[in-house]
Amino acid sequence: MCGIVGAVAINNVVPILLEGLQRLEYRGYDSAGLVVSHEGLQRLRTTGRVLELQKLAETQQVHGYAGIAHTRWATHGAPSERNAHPHFSGSKEQNSRIAVVHNGIIENYESMRERLQNEGYWFVSDTDTEAIAHLVASNLKKIPDLLEAVCASIAELRGAFAIAVMEETRPDKIVVARNGAPLLLGLGASGNYAASDVSALLKATKNMIYLEDGDVAELTNIGYRIVNCQQGEAVHQVERTVHETQLSSEAIELGPYAHYMQKEIFEQPSAVANTLEMVLNAQSISPNLFGSEAENIFAQTRSILILACGTSYHAGLVARYWLETVAGLPCNVEIASEYRYRDPIADAGTLVVSISQSGETADTLAAMNYAKQLGHPYSLAICNVAESALIRQADLRFLTRAGPEIGVASTKAFTTQLASLLLLTATLAKMRQKLSTETELRIIADLRHLPVAIQHALQVEPQVKAWAKSFAQKRHALFLGRGVHYPIAMEGALKLKEISYIHAEAYAAGELKHGPLALVDSEMPVVAIAPNDQLLGKLKSNLQEVHARGGELYVFADADAQITPGENLHVIRLLEHGGLLSPILHTIPLQLLAYHVALERGTDVDKPRNLAKAVTVE
């Protein structure tokens, strides 16, 4: 959530700042702003989209050679211009010396605000961010170097945050700091930059430095320096590796698609193929796919603990069925934000698997670290971002090569996570002698065919689109699944409510008689996942219970599931029977349903209200 862009260059940085903010729009925001250094600090803020900020900059002819910019997702204080970033220090804007943008939450801002007010600083917003600006200004009175003043300031802050700071008497530099929220540097021929995400800087450079917690960096147009000032440690200069990102600007372009979500749904065959590239031409499954230490760690593994949030949590729930059935390993799946505040029992034989698209999800990172503190010795990260904190902090790692996912509603990240988790299941099963050579070869063949099978699943789009016209008029919906497809029903319900704002709930179909059946009437559509597996007969009985009570059924079935359409019973048949991979294939039409229902309702598909792509604060 939120986005930071900073630049110091030999040319006007306003176009770079605005381009960067546009690239960060997918993270979710309710206001935007920038400040540049030109005969003082010139600030623009708006509660509109970045396009509105761009129009303001053009109208007022704002330009400068150093600047910071921000898209805000409200935490403290309602969305408004006075709460939008950047925030200044001082009682009057024209006398302000410090400008700050900030991602994250400052937990001790109230006591800090009271102290700074007693020092004479005047607060004009409801945000925790403004306290940072005044704190830096206060420290600058005692510490004349801006970088050192920022170091002193972050030592007093509690919480996860990333900040960028400017000072009007130092127009040739910006200072940035990271602690628990993503922030990176970009090094270019004509300047140096900072941002929350690689995508914001691709037009300026491909050379990136990923800051670590406690890092504070000073940027000028000809160089940079980084120090680390973790609380309780002496400030010392550090070297960080420069990476050349493999992400291309074309990868984050919309291309011929109407929305990023649509693009990402149809990228799933190639995303899964890229994720499984090392397996598709192999004749056996190797633990080395998960890291050089994987064989040793997997040999000690007696159970699995999966930590994740949102869509990634649903992927973990599917994996539990696979791990217990195929690999014979006990598996527990925890919502990361809940796990980190419980007192669970640690087992040294448990492998902790953390799943995240961004690798910067605050709760998942904290939960993984908490598990290690409790006594879980080994962790595995399944993530889509190679340079993320989750990947860096885990003992083992598997990269889902889905490419950048811009739409807030996760699609290709989910299916690549499922493919990765099935590969993990097969690897653990093989090491435990639970997988015959014949079964191993069949799983490899199924994974090799998976991109084609997903392509076939996408072909049901015209039928789903026809359903969407009537479905869009509804206010509530139930999603039903059984066994390993119950988490897929949960994911389908989540997608629908995320982008169409229709209230949707998912239930294990066997639970209908335990309460949800009371909701069923002609105005409550019921979406069911009906694969031809051992639970199909049970599911058909559940569907009859809905039909008998006047409910309208929308069923996604395997071709051979023998469910016949009729009055108030709509059926779309997938072209393939997925077998072990069935949960992945049945995900595709549910994504398409949510997308087309949202289109019918006219909602903002890629940037749904109140939501952010990467949840980097609690």
Residues 66 and 81: their CA atoms lie apart, in Å, by 22
C-alpha–C-alpha distance, residues 81 and 73, integer Å: 13
Strand pairing category for 215-219 and 174-179: antiparallel
Judging by beta carbons within 10 Å of its beta carbon (0-12, 13-18, 19+), is residue 587 exposed, middle or buried?
A: buried
Number of other residues whose CB lies within 10 A of the CB of residue 265 = 24
- The count of other CB atoms within 10 Å of the CB of residue 549 is 16
Amino acid letter at 201? L
d(CA 231, CA 228): 9
User: Which residue is associated with the tokens 């129009």?
Assistant: 55
Active site (annotated) includes residue 613: yes
Q: Taking a C-beta distance cutoff of 8 angstroms, is the pair 162, 196 a contact? A: yes
Strands 66-72 vs 3-9: parallel, antiparallel or unpaired: antiparallel
Nearest to 201 by CA among 145, 245, 266, 155: 245
Question: Could you give the C-alpha distances from 363 to 42, 108, 341, 552, 598, in angstroms and in order?
Answer: 36, 19, 10, 38, 29
Please return the burial class of 577, using the count of CB atoms within 10 Å of its CB with bins 0-12, 13-18 and 19+.
middle
> Hey, what's the torsion of the CAs at 260, 581, 310, 386, to 10 degrees?
-70
Catalytic residue list contains 412 = no
Which structure tokens are listed for 217? Answer: 């960096």
Rounded distance, CA 310 to CA 356, Å?
9
Q: Which of 173, 430, 607, 613 is flagged as catalytic?
A: 613
* Count of CA atoms in the C-beta half-sphere (13 A) of 612: 24
8-state DSSP, 566: B
Q: Which of 2, 229, 309, 331 is catalytic?
A: 2
Q: Give the type of residue at 25.
A: E
| 3-state helix vs strand vs coil in the chain, percent to 5 | 40, 25, 35
Find the distance separating the first CA and the last CA of the chain, reported in whole Å.
11
Q: Which residues are catalytic?
A: 2, 613
